[in-house]
Amino acid sequence: MKKNDLISLEITDLTAEGSGVGHAADGLTVFVPRTAVGDRITAKIVKVKKKYAFAIVASVDQPSPHRVAVDCPQFRSCGGCLYRHIDYGEECRLKELQVANSMKRIGGIDLAPNPIVPAVETERYRNKAQFPIASGGKSGFFAGHSHRIIPCEDCLLQPSEFSVAAAVIEQWMVENGISAYEESTGEGLVRHLYLRNAETTGELMVVLVVNGQKIPAQEQLISLLKEKLGESLQSVQQNINTENTNVVLGKETGVLYGKPFITDVLCGVKLHISPLSFYQVNRTMAEKLYQKAAEYACPQGKDILDLYCGIGSIGLSMAREAKSVTGVEIVEAAVRDAEQNAVENGFRNTRFLCATAEQAARNLAAEGIRPQVVLVDPPRKGCDESVLQTIANDFQPERVVYVSCDPATLARDVKALTVLGYSLKEYTPFDLFARTGHVETVACLIREKEWDKG
């Protein structure tokens, strides 16, 4: 087999990255993006390795029963959605299987997950967007595995107001001759358009990420945004990022109009959300996930430690029943939001610390703090080994409730906690990112005592 060969292929599986898996006549595994299990295709080989090959679809000769018509013109070039070409039921099956396979293959766990909780909405559910800006003010998304910008007038995963805001930025840049940032030279002003909205209040935040200290024609920009977005526009901010980096947001943010935050409500808790603060991008599904986390935590009358707490949303959702909640977060702005959120909701049994999870875990353990429940909601890389050691050996909580956005690192960390004396009793996948390749999971581990769901 060599590059540009055409071969017949049946797709029998999908990888976690969304590529179809088939086997050539000689047994070589071939990976083909944008295919569905059950497809029979003619594949064009684009790269051959010793044990596998990569291909693209030359033609779909017999479509899978799960294949559906694609409703997005950017699907073939955008790096966002992986599953827009298959039906939603099949997408959920694949995601549930991905979580189960990771647990078994990486974690050595034979326990099957609960059925995946499907998305309430598969369209317009995202409350955050980060649009890179191209020459002429065009915004869009990066193509898969690149920094090539694919223009997008309207992403179906995002509120229509986001497209309105993007059109305003384009108009403002063109009319004022404002340049877009060029990665290759480090020159140009506007890098990204960063947007957030609050589902329950309808409040909208617009953040312009710039390679400089000042934004020209500010009054016109704000006037246009107010004209097009109306009363929903509650915050316009400037974020300064002059570093040679692919990190979207810089450390310095200033308000140009309105408030420094927007307000949403999650699990009955009013939450302030600032630009730098972590907040789940699908509020409706996050509420379902947090309810499951509370079911696993059994927080009534217990001291809870919430590591990687962000703006405090998951810990505060349990604060009414808990004896106390201690939150830990490395982002200072998020800690300020968490403290303000606790005050505004009338909680007197909470405190929040600005530190890495590793630092806080060591310091709290040294203080002799022994929470009965530890919540962890780490980034994709999972928990540092030292954090898991401190949880298991120093805190020794009755329960660890682990919220994960990566099945592989969840499985790895569950395996480590099992060695440290904890037992996985139940875990449930949630589809917070419909049509994309991501899946959330919440897991409950207990320390050598009878499983009791409260």
Encode pLDDT of 129-186 as tens digits: 999 999 899 998 888 778 888 888 899 999 999 999 999 999 999 999 999 999 889 9
Per the CB < 8 A criterion, the answer to whether 144 and 79 are in contact is yes
pLDDT tens digits, residue range 192-222? Answer: 999 999 999 999 999 999 999 999 999 999 9
Taking each helix axis as running N to C, give the angle between helix 160-176 and helix 218-229, from 0 to 180 degrees, rounded to the nearest 10: 150
Q: 298, 354, 383, 405: which one is catalytic? A: 405
pLDDT at 100 > cutoff 60: yes
pLDDT at residue 449 in the model: 56
3-class SS of residue 359? helix
Mean pLDDT calculated for residue range 28-38 = 96
Residues 6+ apart with CB under 8 A from 388: 413, 416, 417, 420
* pLDDT tens-digit map of 373-429: 999 999 999 999 999 999 999 899 999 999 999 999 999 999 999 999 999 999 999
Q: Does 454 score more than 60 pLDDT?
A: no
For the chain, domains (ranges, CATH) are 6-67 (2.40.50.140), 93-120+282-447 (3.40.50.150), 128-260 (2.40.50.1070)
* 267 a catalytic residue: no
Q: Distance (Å, rounded) from C-alpha 213 to C-alpha 94?
A: 46
E-strand ranges in 15-127 read 19-23, 29-33, 40-48, 52-62
Strand partners for 252: 240
- Give the model's pLDDT for residue 361: 84
Is it the case that residue 346 has pLDDT exceeding 60?
yes
Q: Residue 362's pLDDT is what?
A: 84
> Do residues 306 and 314 touch, judged by C-beta distance below 8 A?
yes
The count of C-alpha atoms lying within 13 angstroms of the C-alpha of 408, restricted to the half-sphere facing its C-beta, is 6
3-state DSSP call for residue 88? helix
Percent of the chain with pLDDT over 90: 87
The separation between CA 377 and the C-alpha centre of its own chain, rounded to angstroms, equals 11
Contact between residue 221 and residue 172 where contact means Cβ atoms under 8 Å apart = yes
Confidence of residue 453 (pLDDT cuts 50, 70, 90): very low
Q: What pLDDT, in 10s, does the model give residues 57-87?
A: 999 999 999 999 999 988 988 878 999 999 9
3-class state of residue 319 by DSSP: coil
Q: What is the pLDDT of residues 271-302, one digit of tens each?
A: 999 999 889 999 999 999 999 999 999 999 99
Residues 6+ apart with CB under 8 A from 49: none
